[in-house]
Chains A and B, each alone.
Chain A
Amino acid sequence: MNSNIMINTANLTKYYGKRLGIQDVNLVVQPGEVFGYLGPNGAGKTTTIRTLLDFIRPTSGSATIFGMDIKHNSVTIHRRIGYLPGELELYGNLTGEELLIFLGKLRGGVEWKYVKELAARFDCDLPRRIKGLSHGNKQKLGILQAFMHKPELLILDEPTNGLDPLMQHEFYHLLDEIKKDGRTVFLSSHILPEVEKICDRVAMIRQGKIVTVDTIENLKARAVRKLEIHFARDIPKDKFIGITGVRDIVVLGNLLTCSVTGSLDVLVKAVAQFEVIDIVSNEPTLEDIFLAYYEDKHDVK
Protein backbone atom coordinates (compact mmCIF):
# COMPACT_ATOMS: atom_id res chain seq x y z
CA MET A 1 0.00 0.00 0.00
CA ASN A 2 1.25 3.38 -0.96
CA SER A 3 0.54 5.11 2.35
CA ASN A 4 2.84 2.61 4.03
CA ILE A 5 5.80 4.27 2.40
CA MET A 6 7.41 6.75 4.75
CA ILE A 7 9.04 9.11 2.29
CA ASN A 8 8.43 9.09 -1.43
CA THR A 9 9.84 11.73 -3.75
CA ALA A 10 9.06 12.02 -7.43
CA ASN A 11 11.55 13.97 -9.54
CA LEU A 12 11.98 16.45 -6.74
CA THR A 13 13.84 19.44 -8.13
CA LYS A 14 14.89 22.69 -6.51
CA TYR A 15 16.65 25.61 -8.12
CA TYR A 16 17.67 28.67 -6.13
CA GLY A 17 17.17 31.14 -8.93
CA LYS A 18 19.54 29.71 -11.53
CA ARG A 19 21.68 27.77 -9.08
CA LEU A 20 20.90 24.07 -8.87
CA GLY A 21 19.96 22.70 -5.48
CA ILE A 22 18.73 19.24 -6.39
CA GLN A 23 17.51 17.71 -9.62
CA ASP A 24 15.10 14.83 -10.15
CA VAL A 25 15.59 13.27 -6.78
CA ASN A 26 13.63 10.01 -6.49
CA LEU A 27 13.72 8.32 -3.12
CA VAL A 28 11.55 5.74 -1.44
CA VAL A 29 12.03 5.19 2.27
CA GLN A 30 10.29 2.12 3.67
CA PRO A 31 8.92 1.84 7.18
CA GLY A 32 11.36 0.56 9.77
CA GLU A 33 14.54 1.26 7.88
CA VAL A 34 17.44 3.51 8.72
CA PHE A 35 18.04 5.29 5.48
CA GLY A 36 21.29 7.13 4.93
CA TYR A 37 21.62 10.13 2.67
CA LEU A 38 25.25 10.38 1.81
CA GLY A 39 27.05 13.11 -0.02
CA PRO A 40 29.81 15.70 0.22
CA ASN A 41 29.07 19.18 1.58
CA GLY A 42 26.96 21.21 -0.79
CA ALA A 43 25.66 18.15 -2.66
CA GLY A 44 22.03 18.93 -1.91
CA LYS A 45 21.35 16.90 1.25
CA THR A 46 20.06 19.83 3.26
CA THR A 47 18.09 21.14 0.29
CA THR A 48 16.30 17.79 0.01
CA ILE A 49 15.55 17.68 3.72
CA ARG A 50 14.35 21.28 3.93
CA THR A 51 12.09 20.65 0.94
CA LEU A 52 10.62 17.58 2.65
CA LEU A 53 9.86 19.74 5.69
CA ASP A 54 8.15 22.37 3.53
CA PHE A 55 10.61 25.14 4.47
CA ILE A 56 11.45 25.56 0.81
CA ARG A 57 9.19 24.77 -2.12
CA PRO A 58 10.27 22.50 -4.97
CA THR A 59 10.74 24.07 -8.39
CA SER A 60 9.21 20.93 -9.86
CA GLY A 61 8.38 17.40 -8.79
CA SER A 62 6.58 16.38 -5.64
CA ALA A 63 6.96 14.33 -2.49
CA THR A 64 4.85 12.59 0.09
CA ILE A 65 5.51 11.65 3.69
CA PHE A 66 3.23 9.00 5.24
CA GLY A 67 1.48 9.11 1.87
CA MET A 68 0.52 12.77 2.37
CA ASP A 69 1.58 15.67 0.20
CA ILE A 70 4.41 17.57 1.89
CA LYS A 71 2.99 20.97 1.11
CA HIS A 72 -0.71 20.56 1.81
CA ASN A 73 -0.36 18.41 4.89
CA SER A 74 2.79 19.85 6.40
CA VAL A 75 1.26 20.44 9.85
CA THR A 76 -0.08 16.89 10.11
CA ILE A 77 3.24 15.52 8.88
CA HIS A 78 5.24 17.66 11.30
CA ARG A 79 3.19 16.29 14.18
CA ARG A 80 4.48 12.80 13.38
CA ILE A 81 8.14 13.52 12.66
CA GLY A 82 11.18 14.59 14.62
CA TYR A 83 13.61 16.92 12.88
CA LEU A 84 17.17 17.92 13.60
CA PRO A 85 18.41 20.82 11.46
CA GLY A 86 21.85 20.68 9.91
CA GLU A 87 22.89 24.09 11.11
CA LEU A 88 21.30 24.02 14.49
CA GLU A 89 20.50 27.39 16.04
CA LEU A 90 18.55 27.36 19.28
CA TYR A 91 16.99 30.15 21.31
CA GLY A 92 20.01 31.41 23.23
CA ASN A 93 17.97 33.24 25.86
CA LEU A 94 16.27 30.04 27.07
CA THR A 95 17.72 27.26 29.17
CA GLY A 96 17.75 23.77 27.71
CA GLU A 97 14.85 22.82 29.92
CA GLU A 98 12.78 25.85 28.89
CA LEU A 99 13.44 25.09 25.23
CA LEU A 100 12.23 21.51 25.60
CA ILE A 101 9.18 22.61 27.58
CA PHE A 102 8.31 25.12 24.85
CA LEU A 103 8.76 22.64 22.01
CA GLY A 104 6.89 19.99 23.99
CA LYS A 105 3.96 22.37 24.44
CA LEU A 106 3.93 23.13 20.72
CA ARG A 107 3.49 19.40 20.23
CA GLY A 108 0.68 19.26 22.72
CA GLY A 109 2.75 17.83 25.56
CA VAL A 110 5.44 15.17 25.77
CA GLU A 111 6.22 12.49 28.29
CA TRP A 112 8.60 14.37 30.56
CA LYS A 113 9.97 11.22 32.12
CA TYR A 114 11.34 10.17 28.74
CA VAL A 115 12.86 13.62 28.19
CA LYS A 116 14.65 13.36 31.53
CA GLU A 117 15.84 9.89 30.64
CA LEU A 118 17.25 11.08 27.32
CA ALA A 119 18.85 14.09 28.99
CA ALA A 120 20.59 11.79 31.45
CA ARG A 121 21.80 9.50 28.69
CA PHE A 122 23.28 12.37 26.72
CA ASP A 123 24.56 14.07 29.83
CA CYS A 124 22.66 17.30 29.05
CA ASP A 125 22.95 20.25 31.38
CA LEU A 126 19.30 21.27 31.12
CA PRO A 127 19.21 24.15 33.63
CA ARG A 128 21.96 26.01 31.77
CA ARG A 129 21.26 28.87 29.42
CA ILE A 130 21.73 27.77 25.81
CA LYS A 131 23.82 30.83 24.96
CA GLY A 132 26.70 29.49 27.04
CA LEU A 133 26.65 25.94 25.70
CA SER A 134 29.33 24.46 23.45
CA HIS A 135 28.47 23.33 19.94
CA GLY A 136 28.36 19.69 21.02
CA ASN A 137 26.07 20.41 23.94
CA LYS A 138 23.69 22.34 21.70
CA GLN A 139 23.70 19.41 19.30
CA LYS A 140 22.68 17.11 22.14
CA LEU A 141 19.71 19.36 22.88
CA GLY A 142 18.89 19.26 19.18
CA ILE A 143 18.85 15.45 19.31
CA LEU A 144 16.66 15.51 22.42
CA GLN A 145 14.06 17.76 20.85
CA ALA A 146 13.93 15.55 17.76
CA PHE A 147 13.46 12.32 19.72
CA MET A 148 11.49 13.43 22.78
CA HIS A 149 7.99 12.96 21.39
CA LYS A 150 8.81 9.48 20.04
CA PRO A 151 8.01 10.31 16.41
CA GLU A 152 7.32 7.64 13.80
CA LEU A 153 9.83 9.17 11.43
CA LEU A 154 13.04 10.99 12.24
CA ILE A 155 14.62 13.32 9.72
CA LEU A 156 18.11 14.14 10.89
CA ASP A 157 20.52 16.42 9.05
CA GLU A 158 24.09 15.43 9.97
CA PRO A 159 23.08 14.32 13.46
CA THR A 160 26.52 13.46 14.82
CA ASN A 161 27.98 16.82 13.81
CA GLY A 162 29.96 18.11 16.80
CA LEU A 163 29.36 15.11 19.07
CA ASP A 164 32.34 13.56 20.84
CA PRO A 165 32.92 9.80 20.24
CA LEU A 166 31.22 8.81 23.48
CA MET A 167 28.07 10.73 22.59
CA GLN A 168 28.21 9.46 19.02
CA HIS A 169 28.18 5.98 20.45
CA GLU A 170 25.18 6.83 22.62
CA PHE A 171 23.44 8.25 19.58
CA TYR A 172 24.02 5.06 17.55
CA HIS A 173 22.67 3.14 20.50
CA LEU A 174 19.53 5.30 20.48
CA LEU A 175 19.10 4.67 16.76
CA ASP A 176 19.23 0.92 17.42
CA GLU A 177 16.36 1.28 19.87
CA ILE A 178 14.37 3.31 17.37
CA LYS A 179 14.91 0.58 14.84
CA LYS A 180 13.79 -2.10 17.28
CA ASP A 181 10.61 -0.08 17.83
CA GLY A 182 10.01 -0.32 14.10
CA ARG A 183 10.35 3.41 13.62
CA THR A 184 12.00 4.97 10.61
CA VAL A 185 15.07 7.18 10.33
CA PHE A 186 16.21 9.30 7.42
CA LEU A 187 19.60 10.80 8.12
CA SER A 188 22.15 12.66 6.10
CA SER A 189 25.87 12.37 6.54
CA HIS A 190 29.10 13.02 4.74
CA ILE A 191 30.95 10.36 6.71
CA LEU A 192 30.98 6.96 5.01
CA PRO A 193 31.96 4.76 7.99
CA GLU A 194 29.13 6.29 10.01
CA VAL A 195 26.57 5.46 7.37
CA GLU A 196 28.02 1.97 6.98
CA LYS A 197 27.65 1.43 10.67
CA ILE A 198 24.05 2.52 11.18
CA CYS A 199 22.15 2.46 7.90
CA ASP A 200 20.30 -0.29 6.07
CA ARG A 201 20.15 1.49 2.77
CA VAL A 202 21.93 4.49 1.37
CA ALA A 203 21.24 7.05 -1.29
CA MET A 204 24.28 8.87 -2.56
CA ILE A 205 23.93 12.37 -3.86
CA ARG A 206 26.50 14.44 -5.69
CA GLN A 207 26.09 17.86 -7.26
CA GLY A 208 22.34 17.75 -6.72
CA LYS A 209 21.75 14.41 -8.38
CA ILE A 210 21.26 10.96 -6.91
CA VAL A 211 24.19 8.77 -7.93
CA THR A 212 22.85 5.50 -6.57
CA VAL A 213 20.51 3.98 -4.02
CA ASP A 214 21.73 0.71 -2.62
CA THR A 215 22.05 -1.47 0.45
CA ILE A 216 25.10 -1.13 2.64
CA GLU A 217 26.23 -4.68 1.71
CA ASN A 218 26.30 -3.83 -1.97
CA LEU A 219 27.95 -0.54 -1.29
CA LYS A 220 30.70 -2.20 0.69
CA ALA A 221 31.12 -4.86 -1.96
CA ARG A 222 31.67 -2.19 -4.53
CA ALA A 223 33.86 -0.03 -2.41
CA VAL A 224 37.39 0.32 -3.71
CA ARG A 225 40.07 -0.12 -1.11
CA LYS A 226 43.68 0.91 -1.70
CA LEU A 227 46.15 -1.57 -0.23
CA GLU A 228 49.86 -1.26 0.44
CA ILE A 229 51.61 -4.52 1.25
CA HIS A 230 55.20 -4.55 2.48
CA PHE A 231 57.05 -7.87 2.02
CA ALA A 232 60.29 -9.07 3.55
CA ARG A 233 61.83 -9.67 0.12
CA ASP A 234 61.25 -8.63 -3.47
CA ILE A 235 58.24 -10.35 -5.01
CA PRO A 236 57.20 -11.27 -8.57
CA LYS A 237 54.29 -9.25 -9.98
CA ASP A 238 52.82 -12.06 -12.09
CA LYS A 239 51.66 -13.99 -9.01
CA PHE A 240 49.05 -11.32 -8.40
CA ILE A 241 47.76 -10.61 -11.85
CA GLY A 242 44.32 -11.87 -12.70
CA ILE A 243 42.89 -12.01 -9.16
CA THR A 244 39.22 -11.00 -9.27
CA GLY A 245 38.57 -7.50 -8.03
CA VAL A 246 42.21 -6.49 -7.88
CA ARG A 247 43.35 -3.64 -10.10
CA ASP A 248 46.12 -1.11 -10.57
CA ILE A 249 48.84 -3.48 -9.35
CA VAL A 250 52.23 -1.83 -8.97
CA VAL A 251 55.24 -3.74 -7.65
CA LEU A 252 58.34 -1.83 -6.55
CA GLY A 253 60.81 -4.35 -5.18
CA ASN A 254 59.28 -5.55 -1.93
CA LEU A 255 56.31 -3.17 -2.01
CA LEU A 256 52.99 -3.92 -3.69
CA THR A 257 50.17 -1.44 -4.10
CA CYS A 258 46.79 -2.17 -5.62
CA SER A 259 43.06 -1.30 -5.58
CA VAL A 260 40.65 -3.95 -4.39
CA THR A 261 36.91 -4.10 -4.91
CA GLY A 262 34.82 -6.39 -2.73
CA SER A 263 36.26 -9.30 -0.77
CA LEU A 264 39.94 -9.37 0.15
CA ASP A 265 39.96 -13.15 0.54
CA VAL A 266 41.65 -14.25 -2.69
CA LEU A 267 44.25 -11.53 -2.53
CA VAL A 268 45.13 -12.30 1.08
CA LYS A 269 45.60 -15.96 0.20
CA ALA A 270 47.90 -15.04 -2.67
CA VAL A 271 49.86 -12.68 -0.46
CA ALA A 272 50.26 -15.35 2.22
CA GLN A 273 52.74 -17.28 0.07
CA PHE A 274 55.33 -14.66 0.89
CA GLU A 275 56.64 -13.26 4.14
CA VAL A 276 54.57 -10.16 4.90
CA ILE A 277 55.84 -7.32 7.10
CA ASP A 278 52.90 -4.95 6.98
CA ILE A 279 49.56 -4.41 5.27
CA VAL A 280 48.26 -0.86 5.09
CA SER A 281 44.63 -0.53 4.06
CA ASN A 282 43.32 2.90 3.15
CA GLU A 283 39.58 3.15 3.64
CA PRO A 284 37.94 4.51 0.52
CA THR A 285 36.98 8.12 0.72
CA LEU A 286 33.54 9.24 -0.24
CA GLU A 287 34.96 10.70 -3.40
CA ASP A 288 36.55 7.34 -4.34
CA ILE A 289 33.17 5.66 -4.07
CA PHE A 290 31.46 8.30 -6.11
CA LEU A 291 34.13 7.99 -8.73
CA ALA A 292 33.74 4.22 -8.74
CA TYR A 293 30.03 4.65 -9.40
CA TYR A 294 30.64 7.23 -12.04
CA GLU A 295 33.10 4.97 -13.85
CA ASP A 296 30.55 2.18 -13.71
CA LYS A 297 27.93 4.38 -15.24
CA HIS A 298 30.26 5.25 -18.09
CA ASP A 299 31.22 1.58 -18.52
CA VAL A 300 27.60 0.69 -19.05
CA LYS A 301 27.45 3.17 -21.87
Chain B
Amino acid sequence: MLNNVFQKALRDQWRSLLSWGLGLVVLAVIMAAFYPSISSMTSINQYFEELPKNMMQMFIGTEIIDYTSPVGYFSTELFSFMVPLLFLIYGVGLGTAVIAGEEDRGTLDFLLANPVPRWRVVIDKFGVILVSMIALAVVFWAGLAISVAAINIEISLLKLAEATLGALLVAMVFAAFSLFLGCLKGNRSVSLGVSGGLAVLTYFLNTLGSIVNGLKDYRFLSPFYHYMEPNTLKNGIDPGHTMVLVGLILVFFIASIPVFQRRDIAV
Protein backbone atom coordinates (compact mmCIF):
# COMPACT_ATOMS: atom_id res chain seq x y z
CA MET B 1 0.00 0.00 0.00
CA LEU B 2 2.97 2.34 -0.37
CA ASN B 3 3.65 2.17 -4.10
CA ASN B 4 2.75 5.75 -4.95
CA VAL B 5 1.35 8.99 -3.60
CA PHE B 6 -2.24 7.84 -4.15
CA GLN B 7 -1.84 4.60 -2.21
CA LYS B 8 0.06 6.29 0.60
CA ALA B 9 -2.62 8.99 0.96
CA LEU B 10 -5.40 6.39 0.90
CA ARG B 11 -3.58 4.39 3.54
CA ASP B 12 -3.33 7.52 5.74
CA GLN B 13 -7.05 7.93 5.28
CA TRP B 14 -8.05 4.39 6.11
CA ARG B 15 -8.78 4.70 9.82
CA SER B 16 -10.65 7.95 9.57
CA LEU B 17 -12.70 6.55 6.72
CA LEU B 18 -13.57 3.49 8.77
CA SER B 19 -14.84 5.46 11.74
CA TRP B 20 -16.81 7.89 9.57
CA GLY B 21 -18.33 4.96 7.69
CA LEU B 22 -19.27 3.29 10.95
CA GLY B 23 -20.83 6.50 12.27
CA LEU B 24 -22.90 6.95 9.11
CA VAL B 25 -24.12 3.35 9.22
CA VAL B 26 -25.20 3.83 12.83
CA LEU B 27 -27.06 6.98 11.76
CA ALA B 28 -28.78 5.08 8.94
CA VAL B 29 -29.80 2.23 11.24
CA ILE B 30 -31.19 4.53 13.92
CA MET B 31 -33.13 6.64 11.43
CA ALA B 32 -34.62 3.57 9.77
CA ALA B 33 -35.47 2.02 13.13
CA PHE B 34 -37.49 5.07 14.14
CA TYR B 35 -39.55 5.11 10.99
CA PRO B 36 -42.26 2.58 11.94
CA SER B 37 -43.28 4.57 15.01
CA ILE B 38 -43.26 7.83 12.99
CA SER B 39 -45.40 6.38 10.21
CA SER B 40 -48.18 5.59 12.65
CA MET B 41 -48.18 9.12 14.06
CA THR B 42 -50.54 10.76 11.57
CA SER B 43 -50.92 13.70 13.93
CA ILE B 44 -47.42 14.77 12.97
CA ASN B 45 -48.58 15.80 9.54
CA GLN B 46 -51.18 17.96 11.16
CA TYR B 47 -48.43 19.56 13.24
CA PHE B 48 -46.47 20.37 10.11
CA GLU B 49 -49.51 21.79 8.42
CA GLU B 50 -49.95 24.20 11.30
CA LEU B 51 -46.40 25.53 10.87
CA PRO B 52 -46.05 28.65 8.74
CA LYS B 53 -45.63 27.60 5.13
CA ASN B 54 -42.38 29.55 4.76
CA MET B 55 -40.75 27.74 7.63
CA MET B 56 -41.75 24.41 6.15
CA GLN B 57 -40.13 25.34 2.89
CA MET B 58 -36.98 26.46 4.56
CA PHE B 59 -36.38 23.32 6.51
CA ILE B 60 -37.93 20.64 4.42
CA GLY B 61 -37.93 21.84 0.85
CA THR B 62 -40.05 23.50 -1.70
CA GLU B 63 -42.35 20.62 -2.27
CA ILE B 64 -44.79 19.93 0.53
CA ILE B 65 -44.48 16.27 1.21
CA ASP B 66 -46.07 13.78 3.52
CA TYR B 67 -43.67 13.51 6.44
CA THR B 68 -45.02 10.14 7.48
CA SER B 69 -44.35 8.61 4.06
CA PRO B 70 -40.94 6.91 3.72
CA VAL B 71 -39.79 9.41 1.08
CA GLY B 72 -40.91 12.38 3.20
CA TYR B 73 -39.34 10.98 6.34
CA PHE B 74 -35.94 10.14 4.86
CA SER B 75 -35.80 13.34 2.83
CA THR B 76 -36.39 15.41 5.93
CA GLU B 77 -34.35 13.46 8.43
CA LEU B 78 -31.38 12.42 6.34
CA PHE B 79 -31.05 13.99 2.94
CA SER B 80 -32.13 17.58 3.47
CA PHE B 81 -29.40 18.33 5.96
CA MET B 82 -27.68 15.62 7.99
CA VAL B 83 -26.11 13.43 5.30
CA PRO B 84 -24.83 16.18 2.99
CA LEU B 85 -23.49 17.99 6.06
CA LEU B 86 -21.58 14.95 7.32
CA PHE B 87 -20.23 14.14 3.85
CA LEU B 88 -19.21 17.76 3.53
CA ILE B 89 -17.35 17.90 6.85
CA TYR B 90 -15.47 14.75 5.96
CA GLY B 91 -14.75 15.92 2.41
CA VAL B 92 -13.55 19.41 3.32
CA GLY B 93 -11.36 17.97 6.07
CA LEU B 94 -9.80 15.59 3.59
CA GLY B 95 -9.53 18.18 0.82
CA THR B 96 -7.69 20.43 3.24
CA ALA B 97 -5.43 17.73 4.67
CA VAL B 98 -4.03 16.32 1.44
CA ILE B 99 -2.09 19.40 0.29
CA ALA B 100 -2.41 22.25 2.82
CA GLY B 101 -2.18 19.84 5.76
CA GLU B 102 0.94 18.20 4.43
CA GLU B 103 2.47 21.56 3.67
CA ASP B 104 1.70 22.87 7.16
CA ARG B 105 3.35 19.83 8.67
CA GLY B 106 6.38 20.42 6.45
CA THR B 107 6.44 17.03 4.75
CA LEU B 108 5.71 18.37 1.27
CA ASP B 109 9.38 19.32 0.79
CA PHE B 110 10.86 15.90 0.73
CA LEU B 111 7.85 14.43 -1.06
CA LEU B 112 8.37 16.84 -3.95
CA ALA B 113 12.13 16.18 -3.92
CA ASN B 114 11.30 12.81 -5.46
CA PRO B 115 10.86 12.39 -9.19
CA VAL B 116 7.13 13.08 -8.93
CA PRO B 117 5.73 16.08 -10.79
CA ARG B 118 3.49 18.42 -8.86
CA TRP B 119 0.51 17.84 -11.16
CA ARG B 120 0.78 14.15 -10.42
CA VAL B 121 0.64 14.83 -6.68
CA VAL B 122 -2.55 16.89 -7.15
CA ILE B 123 -4.18 14.20 -9.30
CA ASP B 124 -3.29 11.46 -6.83
CA LYS B 125 -4.58 13.48 -3.91
CA PHE B 126 -7.81 14.28 -5.71
CA GLY B 127 -8.14 10.60 -6.50
CA VAL B 128 -7.92 9.81 -2.82
CA ILE B 129 -10.64 12.34 -1.98
CA LEU B 130 -12.88 10.89 -4.69
CA VAL B 131 -12.32 7.26 -3.74
CA SER B 132 -12.74 7.91 -0.01
CA MET B 133 -15.93 9.89 -0.53
CA ILE B 134 -17.40 7.25 -2.83
CA ALA B 135 -16.49 4.56 -0.30
CA LEU B 136 -18.17 6.56 2.45
CA ALA B 137 -21.31 7.04 0.36
CA VAL B 138 -21.47 3.37 -0.60
CA VAL B 139 -21.07 2.28 3.03
CA PHE B 140 -23.80 4.67 4.13
CA TRP B 141 -26.14 3.57 1.36
CA ALA B 142 -25.51 -0.11 2.12
CA GLY B 143 -26.24 0.47 5.81
CA LEU B 144 -29.43 2.30 4.96
CA ALA B 145 -30.52 -0.23 2.34
CA ILE B 146 -30.04 -3.16 4.68
CA SER B 147 -31.89 -1.42 7.52
CA VAL B 148 -34.75 -0.39 5.25
CA ALA B 149 -35.08 -3.90 3.86
CA ALA B 150 -34.90 -5.48 7.32
CA ILE B 151 -37.66 -3.26 8.68
CA ASN B 152 -39.72 -3.63 5.50
CA ILE B 153 -39.99 0.03 4.72
CA GLU B 154 -41.41 0.66 1.29
CA ILE B 155 -38.85 2.79 -0.46
CA SER B 156 -36.82 2.29 -3.62
CA LEU B 157 -33.24 1.30 -2.87
CA LEU B 158 -32.26 2.80 -6.21
CA LYS B 159 -33.77 6.15 -5.26
CA LEU B 160 -31.91 5.99 -1.96
CA ALA B 161 -28.71 5.41 -3.94
CA GLU B 162 -29.53 8.33 -6.22
CA ALA B 163 -30.18 10.64 -3.29
CA THR B 164 -26.93 9.49 -1.66
CA LEU B 165 -25.10 10.24 -4.89
CA GLY B 166 -26.58 13.75 -4.86
CA ALA B 167 -25.35 14.33 -1.31
CA LEU B 168 -21.97 12.95 -2.32
CA LEU B 169 -21.73 15.33 -5.27
CA VAL B 170 -22.66 18.45 -3.32
CA ALA B 171 -20.09 17.53 -0.67
CA MET B 172 -17.48 16.83 -3.35
CA VAL B 173 -17.95 20.35 -4.71
CA PHE B 174 -16.74 21.76 -1.40
CA ALA B 175 -14.07 19.09 -0.96
CA ALA B 176 -12.67 19.97 -4.42
CA PHE B 177 -12.88 23.64 -3.50
CA SER B 178 -10.85 23.07 -0.33
CA LEU B 179 -8.28 21.15 -2.39
CA PHE B 180 -8.14 24.09 -4.77
CA LEU B 181 -7.58 26.53 -1.89
CA GLY B 182 -4.88 24.26 -0.48
CA CYS B 183 -3.15 24.24 -3.85
CA LEU B 184 -3.52 27.99 -4.11
CA LYS B 185 -2.42 29.02 -0.62
CA GLY B 186 -1.13 26.00 1.26
CA ASN B 187 -2.65 27.23 4.48
CA ARG B 188 -4.80 24.81 6.45
CA SER B 189 -6.97 27.35 8.22
CA VAL B 190 -7.65 29.31 5.04
CA SER B 191 -8.61 26.15 3.18
CA LEU B 192 -10.84 24.87 5.96
CA GLY B 193 -12.35 28.20 6.96
CA VAL B 194 -13.17 29.54 3.51
CA SER B 195 -14.63 26.25 2.26
CA GLY B 196 -16.70 25.82 5.41
CA GLY B 197 -17.84 29.44 5.33
CA LEU B 198 -18.82 29.17 1.70
CA ALA B 199 -20.79 26.01 2.41
CA VAL B 200 -22.79 27.70 5.17
CA LEU B 201 -23.35 30.79 3.02
CA THR B 202 -24.55 28.91 -0.05
CA TYR B 203 -26.71 26.62 2.08
CA PHE B 204 -28.59 29.59 3.43
CA LEU B 205 -28.67 31.25 0.03
CA ASN B 206 -30.64 28.26 -1.19
CA THR B 207 -32.96 27.84 1.79
CA LEU B 208 -33.63 31.54 2.28
CA GLY B 209 -33.91 31.92 -1.48
CA SER B 210 -36.92 29.66 -1.41
CA ILE B 211 -38.85 32.13 0.75
CA VAL B 212 -37.23 35.52 0.14
CA ASN B 213 -38.19 36.88 -3.25
CA GLY B 214 -35.09 39.01 -3.76
CA LEU B 215 -32.83 35.98 -3.40
CA LYS B 216 -34.82 33.68 -5.60
CA ASP B 217 -32.94 34.59 -8.77
CA TYR B 218 -29.57 33.83 -7.17
CA ARG B 219 -30.36 30.39 -5.83
CA PHE B 220 -28.80 28.78 -8.87
CA LEU B 221 -25.45 30.01 -7.57
CA SER B 222 -25.71 27.66 -4.61
CA PRO B 223 -24.56 24.06 -5.08
CA PHE B 224 -27.22 23.14 -2.52
CA TYR B 225 -29.88 24.42 -4.88
CA HIS B 226 -28.77 21.91 -7.49
CA TYR B 227 -28.80 19.21 -4.87
CA MET B 228 -32.11 20.00 -3.16
CA GLU B 229 -34.25 21.31 -5.97
CA PRO B 230 -34.74 18.04 -7.91
CA ASN B 231 -35.98 16.24 -4.75
CA THR B 232 -34.04 13.22 -5.88
CA LEU B 233 -35.42 10.75 -3.35
CA LYS B 234 -38.87 11.22 -4.86
CA ASN B 235 -38.09 11.97 -8.50
CA GLY B 236 -34.72 10.32 -9.11
CA ILE B 237 -31.61 11.98 -10.50
CA ASP B 238 -32.02 15.14 -12.52
CA PRO B 239 -29.38 15.17 -15.26
CA GLY B 240 -29.16 18.97 -15.56
CA HIS B 241 -28.60 19.74 -11.88
CA THR B 242 -26.25 16.77 -11.57
CA MET B 243 -24.14 18.03 -14.44
CA VAL B 244 -23.81 21.40 -12.72
CA LEU B 245 -22.43 19.73 -9.59
CA VAL B 246 -20.08 17.47 -11.57
CA GLY B 247 -18.95 20.48 -13.57
CA LEU B 248 -18.11 22.45 -10.43
CA ILE B 249 -16.11 19.54 -9.05
CA LEU B 250 -14.13 19.26 -12.27
CA VAL B 251 -13.51 23.00 -12.47
CA PHE B 252 -12.06 23.15 -8.95
CA PHE B 253 -10.02 20.01 -9.49
CA ILE B 254 -8.57 21.11 -12.81
CA ALA B 255 -7.89 24.63 -11.55
CA SER B 256 -5.92 23.13 -8.64
CA ILE B 257 -3.19 21.85 -10.95
CA PRO B 258 -1.88 25.09 -12.51
CA VAL B 259 -2.08 27.07 -9.26
CA PHE B 260 -0.10 24.40 -7.43
CA GLN B 261 2.33 24.02 -10.30
CA ARG B 262 3.13 27.69 -10.23
CA ARG B 263 3.53 28.72 -6.65
CA ASP B 264 6.23 28.56 -3.99
CA ILE B 265 6.00 25.78 -1.46
CA ALA B 266 6.15 27.07 2.11
CA VAL B 267 8.84 25.70 4.40
Contacts and interface: CB of A to CB of B under 8 A. Distances in A.
B114 A106 contact: yes
A294 interface: no
Contact of B267 (A81, A87, A106): A87
B115 A102 contact: no
B113 A56 contact: no
A59 B114 CA distance: 24
Contact of A55 (B12, B115, B264): B264
Nearest to B8: A102
A76 B115 contact: yes
A140 to B, nearest CB: 14
Interface stretch (A89-97, A111-119, A164-172, A248-256): A89-97
Interface in A47-106: 50, 53-57, 74-76, 78-79, 81, 83, 85, 87-91, 93-94, 98, 101-103, 105-106
Given A83-B113, A101-B2, A105-B3, A89 B107 contact: yes
Contact of A75 (B2, B5, B8, B115): B115
Given A89-B107, A90-B107, A56 B114 contact: no
Contacts of B110: 83, 85, 88-90, 103, 142, 145
A93 B11 CA distance: 10
A46 interface: yes
A80 B262 CA distance: 23
A145 B110 CA distance: 9
Interface in A30-51: 46, 50
B213 interface: no
B2 A79 contact: no
A105 B4 contact: yes
Contacts of A46: 267
B198 to A, nearest CB: 27
A173 interface: no
Interface string A9-22: 00000000000000
Nearest to B105: A89
A56 B267 CA distance: 10
B215 interface: no
Nearest to B12: A93
Residue among B2, B112, B116, B265 with most chain A CB within 10 A: B2
Nearest to B113: A83
Interface in B31-84: none
Given A55-B264, A98-B2, A106 B106 contact: no
A128 interface: no
Contacts of B114: 78, 103, 106-107
A148 to B, nearest CB: 12
A89 B106 contact: yes
Nearest to B107: A89
A157 to B, nearest CB: 10
A46 B105 CA distance: 17
Given A46-B267, A55-B265, A93-B12, A106 B116 contact: yes
Interface in B170-229: none
Contacts of A54: 112
Given A105-B4, A106-B5, A91 B107 contact: yes
Contact of A78 (B105, B113, B262, B265): B113
A185 B75 CA distance: 64
Contacts of B109: 50, 55, 85, 89
A287 to B, nearest CB: 25
Residue among B110, B112, B262 with most chain A CB within 10 A: B110
A289 to B, nearest CB: 27
Contacts of A83: 110, 113
Contacts of A79: 115
A154 to B, nearest CB: 11
A75 B117 contact: yes
Contact of A107 (B12, B115, B262): B115
A235 B267 CA distance: 57
Residue among B105, B107, B113, B267 with most chain A CB within 10 A: B113
Nearest to A57: B264
B6 to A, nearest CB: 11
A75 B265 contact: no
Contacts of B107: 89-91
20 contacts: A50-B265, A53-B113, A54-B112, A74-B117, A75-B117, A78-B113, A78-B115, A78-B116, A79-B115, A81-B113, A83-B113, A85-B109, A85-B113, A87-B106, A88-B110, A89-B109, A91-B8, A91-B12, A102-B8, A105-B3
Interface of A: 46, 50, 53-57, 74-76, 78-79, 81, 83, 85, 87-91, 93-94, 98, 101-103, 105-108, 142, 145
